Amino acid sequence: MIHDRGVTSLHPWGKGMCNRTPANMLPEETVANAVNVDFGLGNRITGRKGMTKVYPAVGAKDSFSCPAGVFFIEGPDLKVFNTDNSATTLYTGVTGTEFAFDYLLGTVYFSDGTVSLKIVDGAALPWGLPRPGAPVVYSTAGAYDEGTYLAAVCWVDADGVESGASAIVSADLPADTGVIFANLPQPTTGNPTYLRLYLSMPNGDTLYHVADVAPGTENYTITSGRYDDGHVCESLFVSPAPGFRIIRHYGGRIYGADADGYVFHTEPFQYDRFRLSSNFLMFPDPVDIMEPVKSGIFFAQGDTTEFYAGDVEDGFDIREVAAYGGVYGTGKVMTKTAEGITKVCWQSQKGTVIGTADGQVRNIVEDLIAPGTSESGAAIVREQDGIRQFIVKLNDPTTSRFAARSFIEAEIVRKGA
């Protein structure tokens, strides 16, 4: 601090920065302003380390790091960063402005609000196969009985995952009939391994697996037998992933928040299967923060933050944990154990918040700092030199009206000759 005789002496500043009071009334162990310094253990103050450019990205927009690699958006391209400081393009056609990533069991899930992909073994694939078009069904000679038959088809990928079923078609067929599946759909995206055919028994409403055919097959005829009683169609009304602004996994499902206040979730342990007509949560405003922990999910939207405890299948127990919202793009995991995520953090409209595994929240800066706020931002959790930091960059921030104005904010940059 500066004494009245102009002598500068350094004191412990373990509590860091405080901008809620005038400079002449600062609490003990605080400073009025701090630029490019880190407050560490034992009241140490060190200069913040700089950065070294390793890749000359042009138009970089977002990035994501996980055990599968480092991924980022450059212009219209989704790229992966290589160990030799080069980058490989995985997908071209990114057009959105809000980007979502998550990592689960070796797969990276990505969405730009319009296109949703999954990255598997270094390849960007559609996140869920598209629903095929419906076939045409009519009769031929065969051994089946007279009645009304229902039919549908699904794409199946190399892992045995089915797409959503096509629209169901029906046909009234005579006695001693066979069934022709005609005008079978052809694949356009996703490279399915084969097309699965489903057929009901006469006048029945359950669709049974009857055949798998190679893509490119135009017609297929069944004249007798073939019903697989142990395999019924469970893909009705299933869709691939829509566009998301946030992606997270919790309780054996993937959850995706869109720009309209909907949070859709997959079928349990079936991460390519969404039922958009039934498997969703709805909020009054777009969800800005969606951070799961072991016992539930924190949702921040509008001017509130809530904790959804439990599981969606049994019904969440919902309670408000903060009377203010969050800044989109700043949610991060702080601590994770073998049992699950135990601590998360995000930038709220009133400063940095930590959420714990039991659904509690704590604003760690509001006593000392009146933070600026913004509609969106970016954040990282960095651990270096024994210090764990949550670093936030806000887009076009506004200054809090509670911040003190009694100090001059300046930064001196020394340039070389």
Confidence of residue 5 (pLDDT cuts 50, 70, 90): very low
In this predicted structure, the answer to whether residue 33 has a pLDDT above a threshold of 90 is no
Burial group, residue 119, by CB count within 10 angstroms (0-12, 13-18, 19+) = buried
- Residue 354 · residue 341 · CB < 8 Å: no
Confidence of residue 34 (pLDDT cuts 50, 70, 90): low
The helix/strand/coil state of 207 is coil
In this predicted structure, the answer to whether residue 185 has a pLDDT above a threshold of 60 is yes
> Is pLDDT larger for residue 365 or for residue 138?
138
Q: 365 is written with which tokens? A: 């800066």
Which residue reads 């605080």 in tokens? 30
In this predicted structure, the answer to whether residue 363 has a pLDDT above a threshold of 70 is yes
pLDDT at 239: 93
**How far apart are the C-alpha atoms of 409 and 407, rounded to whole Å?**
6
> Is pLDDT larger for residue 128 or for residue 415?
128
- Residue 169 · residue 134 · CB < 8 Å: yes
Q: 36 is written with which tokens? A: 């490019």
Which residue reads 């799961």 in tokens? 292
Arithmetic mean of pLDDT, 343-361: 94
**How big is the CA angle at 152 (ends 147 and 157), to the nearest 5 degrees?**
150
> Sign of the CA dihedral 9, 12, 16, 21?
negative
Confidence of residue 51 (pLDDT cuts 50, 70, 90): confident
pLDDT at 400: 54
Which residue, among 76, 73, 51, 69, has the nearest Cα to 60 in the 3D structure?
Answer: 73
In this predicted structure, the answer to whether residue 19 has a pLDDT above a threshold of 60 is no
In this predicted structure, the answer to whether residue 39 has a pLDDT above a threshold of 80 is no
Share of the chain above pLDDT 90, in %: 65
Confidence of residue 410 (pLDDT cuts 50, 70, 90): very low
Q: Show me where the domains of the chain are located.
A: 136-232
30-31 vs 16-17, strand pairing mode: parallel
What is the pTM assigned to this prediction?
0.82
pLDDT at 338: 85
In this predicted structure, the answer to whether residue 42 has a pLDDT above a threshold of 60 is no
Q: 342 is written with which tokens? A: 């135990």
pLDDT in tens, 225-265: 888 888 999 999 999 999 999 999 999 999 999 999 999 99
Arithmetic mean of pLDDT, 20-47: 59
Which residue, among 240, 257, 261, 238, has the nearest Cα to 249 in the 3D structure?
Answer: 257
* Residue burial 33-62, b: 16+ Cβ < 10 Å; e: rest: ebeeebbeeeeeeeeeeeeeeeeebeeebb
> Is pLDDT larger for residue 12 or for residue 240?
240
Arithmetic mean of pLDDT, 112-138: 94
pLDDT at 373: 80
> Is pLDDT larger for residue 291 or for residue 349?
291
pLDDT at 407: 45
331: number of Cβ within 10 Å:
23
pLDDT in tens, 74-118: 999 999 999 999 999 999 999 999 999 999 999 999 999 999 999
pLDDT at 323: 95
pLDDT at 16: 60
> Is pLDDT larger for residue 224 or for residue 246?
246
**How far apart are the C-alpha atoms of 307 and 320, rounded to whole Å?**
6
In this predicted structure, the answer to whether residue 7 has a pLDDT above a threshold of 50 is no
Give the count of alpha carbons within 13 A of 119, CB side only. 25
The helix/strand/coil state of 57 is coil
Arithmetic mean of pLDDT, 277-288: 96
pLDDT at 161: 87
Confidence of residue 4 (pLDDT cuts 50, 70, 90): very low
In this predicted structure, the answer to whether residue 1 has a pLDDT above a threshold of 90 is no
pLDDT at 189: 77
In this predicted structure, the answer to whether residue 389 has a pLDDT above a threshold of 90 is no
Q: Tell me the pLDDT of the chain averaged across its residues.
A: 86
Please name every residue paired with 25 in a beta bridge, in sequence order, or none if there are none.
none
pLDDT in tens, 149-164: 999 999 999 888 899 9
**How far apart are the C-alpha atoms of 199 and 202, rounded to whole Å?**
9
Q: 389 is written with which tokens? A: 């930091």
pLDDT at 81: 95
Most confident of 49-53, 273-277, 401-405: 273-277
| Segment (H or E) for 37 | strand 37-39
**How far apart are the C-alpha atoms of 105 and 305, rounded to whole Å?**
29
In this predicted structure, the answer to whether residue 396 has a pLDDT above a threshold of 70 is yes
Arithmetic mean of pLDDT, 359-371: 77
- Residue 364 · residue 371 · CB < 8 Å: no
337: number of Cβ within 10 Å:
10
**How far apart are the C-alpha atoms of 216 and 213, rounded to whole Å?**
9
